């Protein structure tokens, strides 16, 4: 039998009624001739509740016990889904990560998948099981301890299973009916995409789009797993959604596929840093060691051997960055006059594989922002994306202006 992987997020399994609705979708695919691997998240809100419980036990908790606690939400959902399918006369069995086994490294709360041996589940399919309901987000370390993959890890679990089992497709059911050209809450002209390339989806996910976890898209691109994003709240026979696939599977696309944004950005500037070989390493080494996720980097023109260095990072990492830079200054690694943090900025990006073969995208983007009186503070580019830092108060205006400028409301 061909294998299909179906993943249901927290909102899709938030109640028993929603679990029954999801189970009907699974039963439909079984009737279509598939053996199905269902990956489930914890019921909506449960993981946050468990994380809070752990935090209340003390500030410096054991990461191994953290994983033991927070992984339990998925176990509940998996069991309830299996029971619901059995009530529908669909042969189903729940699987926890260690039973598969989904093997990871030992990095508790942020584990990486190392191997998913398919033999155990395939043997049960051979014995007549039609659905394996697997608890997402969790695995087992070489030491035999439960591990978790980080928030949003159930998406990664689903793609990894699709790759390991050679699944025909991996369907991600969520509370949206696909990938849009931008956030529909900001622009009522946002359009659902029928298809989007892996590279475009990866950029959009990393730049703020919340539809798919970045690691899951990376895995899908590496192993050529076709991903489909669908709503779990639509009609049972509605299977449109958005297909995330290889660029070669897309006949024609707009130059720009979408506009993404990240609201919680900060711009930090080291003023009057010595302009010498190794200064960048002396700055960004300590930041990396402190766990600061640096994105955009701009160095000003040097004057009299001094320069300014600007970088962006998430707002919740500003204090960490300030501490790392002060420690580097106190130790004599770097010398700067001042460190200025601007936490009232946001990042807005345009993404599209069409940029490779079309000139003038940057010019069009900057002109659209200029026409709205929006000043650009920092710019960074890659082969298929352009990102800018702007004042946060202009976020919605910028997104709408760019969406209109590139005509994203219209298909090719």
Torsion (CA) 148, 149, 151, 154 in degrees, nearest 10: -100
Q: What is the pLDDT of residues 249-271, one digit of tens each?
A: 887 678 999 999 999 999 999 99
First to last CA, the chain: 37
Residue 239 pLDDT class (50, 70, 90 cuts): low
Does the pLDDT value for residue 386 go beyond 80?
yes
Q: How many CB atoms lie within 10 A of CB 53?
A: 11
For β-strands 258-274 and 338-351, DSSP reports them as antiparallel
Q: Report how far apart, in Å, the C-alpha atoms of 192 and of each of 52, 254, 356 are.
A: 36, 13, 23
What does the pLDDT average to over 343-353?
95
Give SS3 for 234: coil
Please say if the pLDDT value at position 403 is more than 90: yes
pLDDT digits (tens, 9 = 90+) for 110-157: 999 999 999 999 999 999 999 999 999 999 999 999 999 988 899 999
Distance, CA of 156 to CA of 110 (rounded, Å): 12
Query: What would the two tokens of residue 168 be?
Result: 């025909």
For the chain, give the number of residues: 412
Q: What is the pLDDT of residue 257?
A: 93
Going by pLDDT thresholds of 50, 70 and 90, the confidence category of residue 89 is very high
Tokens representing 257 are 């596929």
Mean pLDDT of the chain: 93
pLDDT at residue 122, rounded to an integer:
98
Q: Is 393 exposed, middle or buried (0-12, 13-18, 19+ CB in 10 A)?
A: exposed
DSSP H helical ranges for 331-394? 361-371
Please report the pLDDT score of residue 235 as a whole number. 72
What is the Cα–Cα distance from 50 to 292, expressed in whole angstroms? 26
> What radius of gyration, in Å, describes the C-alpha atoms of the chain?
23
H helices within 207-300, ranges in order? Answer: 214-223, 279-289
pLDDT at 238: 63
CB 148 within 8 A of CB 50: no
Residue 326 pLDDT greater than 70, yes or no = yes
Confidence of residue 211 (pLDDT cuts 50, 70, 90): confident
- Is the per-residue pLDDT at 83 higher than 80? yes
Q: Which of 249, 257, 191 is nearest to 220 (CA)?
A: 249
- Tokens representing 402? 């760019």
Residue 237 has pLDDT above 80, yes or no: no
**Which residues are within 8 A (CB) of 339 and not within 5 positions of it... i.e. 6 or more apart?**
268, 269, 270, 271, 322, 325, 326
Contact 406, 364 (CB under 8 A): yes
Q: Residue 210: pLDDT above 80?
A: no
CA angle, 319 then 321 then 325, to 5°: 120
The Cα 20–Cα 84 span in angstroms is 6
Angle CA 232–14–64, to nearest 5 = 115
Which residues fall within 8 angstroms of residue 284, CB to CB, at 6 or more apart? 294, 297, 311
Q: Is the pLDDT of residue 412 over 70?
A: no
Both tokens assigned to 132: 């394996």
Residues 6 or more apart whose CB falls under 8 angstroms from that of 150 comprise: 109, 110, 111, 215
> What is the SS3 assignment for 53-104?
HHHHHCCCCCHHHHHHHHCHHHHHHHHHHHHHHHHCCCCEEEECHHHCCCEE
Do residues 384 and 351 touch, judged by C-beta distance below 8 A? yes
Q: How far apart are CA 313 and CA 288, in angstroms?
A: 11
With cut-offs at 50, 70 and 90, classify the pLDDT of residue 410. Answer: confident
The pLDDT of residue 201 is 93
Query: Are 157 and 7 in contact, with CB atoms under 8 Å apart?
Result: yes
| For residues 5-27, average pLDDT | 96
The model's pLDDT over 32-72, given as tens digits with 9 standing for 90+, comes to: 999 999 999 999 999 999 999 999 998 889 999 999 999 99
């Amino acid at each position: 039998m061909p294998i299909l992987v179906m993943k249901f997020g927290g909102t899709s399994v938030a109640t028993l009624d929603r679990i029954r609705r999801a189970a009907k979708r699974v039963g439909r695919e079984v009737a279509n001739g598939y053996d199905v691997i269902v990956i489930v998240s914890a019921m909506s809100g449960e993981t946050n509740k468990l994380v809070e419980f752990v935090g209340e036990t003390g500030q410096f908790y054991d990461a191994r016990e953290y994983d033991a606690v927070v992984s339990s939400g998925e176990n509940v959902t998996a069991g309830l889904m299996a029971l619901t399918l059995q009530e529908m006369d669909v042969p189903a069995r729940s699987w926890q990560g260690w039973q598969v086994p989904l093997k990871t490294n030992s990095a508790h709360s942020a584990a990486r998948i190392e191997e998913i041996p398919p033999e155990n589940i395939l043997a049960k399919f051979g014995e007549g099981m039609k659905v394996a309901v697997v608890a997402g987000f969790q695995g087992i370390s070489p030491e035999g301890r439960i591990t978790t993959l980080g928030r949003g890890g159930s998406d990664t679990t689903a793609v990894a299973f699709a790759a390991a089992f050679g699944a025909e497709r991996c369907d991600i059911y969520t509370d949206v009916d696909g990938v849009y050209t931008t956030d529909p809450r900001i622009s009522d002209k946002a359009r659902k995409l029928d298809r989007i390339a892996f590279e475009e989806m990866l950029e959009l996910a990393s730049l703020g789009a919340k539809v798919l976890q970045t690691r899951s898209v990376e895995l899908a691109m590496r192993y050529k797993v076709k991903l489909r994003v669908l709503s779990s709240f639509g009609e049972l026979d509605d299977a449109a959604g958005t297909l995330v696939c290889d660029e070669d599977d897309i006949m024609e696309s707009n130059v720009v596929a979408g506009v993404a944004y990240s609201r919680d950005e900060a711009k930090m500037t080291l003023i009057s840093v010595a302009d010498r070989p190794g200064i960048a390493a002396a700055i960004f080494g300590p930041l990396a060691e402190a766990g600061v996720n640096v994105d955009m980097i701009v160095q000003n023109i040097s004057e009299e051997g001094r320069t300014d260095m600007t970088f962006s990072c998430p707002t919740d990492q500003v204090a960490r960055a300030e501490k790392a830079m002060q420690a580097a200054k106190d130790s004599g690694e770097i010398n700067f006059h001042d460190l200025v943090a601007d936490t009232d900025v946001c990042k807005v990006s345009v993404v599209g594989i069409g940029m490779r073969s079309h000139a003038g995208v940057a010019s069009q983007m900057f002109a659209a922002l200029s026409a709205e009186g929006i000043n650009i503070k920092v710019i960074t580019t890659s082969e298929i994306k352009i990102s800018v830092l702007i004042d946060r108060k202009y976020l919605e205006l910028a997104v709408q202006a760019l969406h209109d400028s590139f005509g994203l409301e219209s298909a090719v």
